Amino acid sequence: MAKVFNVRKYSPGDSVLSREEVRKFDEWAIEQIGVPSCVLMENAGRGCAEVILEHLGDVENPKVCIFAGIGNNGGDGFVIARHLADAGCDVKVVTCGDQSKIKGDAKTNLDIVCKMEIGVFQLDMGLYGLDKRVEHFAKDSDIIVDALFGTGLKGALRGNYPELIDDINKLGKSVVAVDIPSGLNCNKGVPTEKQLAIKANFTVTFAAAKRGFTSTASREYTGDVYVAGIGIEPVRM
């Protein structure tokens, strides 16, 4: 896959966005500049896929397991799945939550993944033995992709999502977080509750690093941070 997007490693002192600024930037890009939201999602997902491929390096027949939520972060995961599959990876997508609630751009990209016959599985969050099912899906993977929750997460994680995050952390696999580790507070850089957030080896965040990444405590969860361009920069606002 040729590199076409600006991807850079985050350094302290680089510009950052708060949760509120991320929302305003998206609104500005879509409503005032006219960049369709599906284009922003496409660019974000492809940039993340490029970084993942670099980290896979010379792994032969790489296997990737993507845990995807039902919102736009999951939509990014579906885009990533497509590009990784096109690059020759063995990709498995695990939707976490009620798949019927996936809407908009995320649904469009899920439909594409399904038509490409990439393996898509639904993880029933209400069933007993969540840890065993997470292990079953991910045990042969070289990299786990966390596409559960993005910057829009507010308040405490609900239902069995804390258990799911804990189970992913216990896999002992290399993990990449999409935009922000699931469960991490975007503005503060600490978990939303009970010290439960994805502990990623690296994070590919979009447009700009998030304010919480300036906290030294966040490094335990983000790992190395890469900033992937999405086709338009916040500095233009």
Q: Which tokens in the block code for residue 190?
A: 């600490």
Over range 25-46, report the average pLDDT. 96
Largest pairwise CA distance in the chain: 49
For residue 176, list its beta bridge partners: 145, 202
d(CA 147, CA 136): 18
Over range 36-42, report the average pLDDT. 97
Average pLDDT in the chain:
93
CATH number 3.40.50.10260 given to 22-236: yes
d(CA 135, CA 20): 35
pLDDT over threshold 90, residue 40: yes
pTM: 0.95
Given this model, what pLDDT does residue 237 score? Answer: 67
Which residues participate in the annotated binding site for K(+)? 73, 146, 182
Which residues participate in the annotated binding site? 72-76, 146, 150-156, 161, 179, 182
| CA-based nearest residue to 74, from 49, 47, 102 | 102
Given this model, what pLDDT does residue 159 score? Answer: 87
Per-domain boundaries in the chain: 22-236
For residue 64, list its beta bridge partners: 91, 143
As to burial, measured by CB atoms within 10 angstroms (0-12 exposed, 13-18 middle, 19+ buried), residue 190 is middle
Which residues participate in the annotated binding site for (6S)-NADPHX? 72-76, 150-156, 161, 179
d(CA 216, CA 205): 17
d(CA 235, CA 75): 25
Over range 138-151, report the average pLDDT. 96
The Cα-based distances of 237 to 27, 186, 207 in angstroms read: 11, 21, 12
Q: Which tokens in the block code for residue 194?
A: 């009970």
Tell me the pLDDT tens digit for each residue of 43-88.
999 999 999 999 999 899 999 999 999 999 999 999 999 999 999 9
Tell me the pLDDT tens digit for each residue of 110-125.
999 999 999 999 998 8
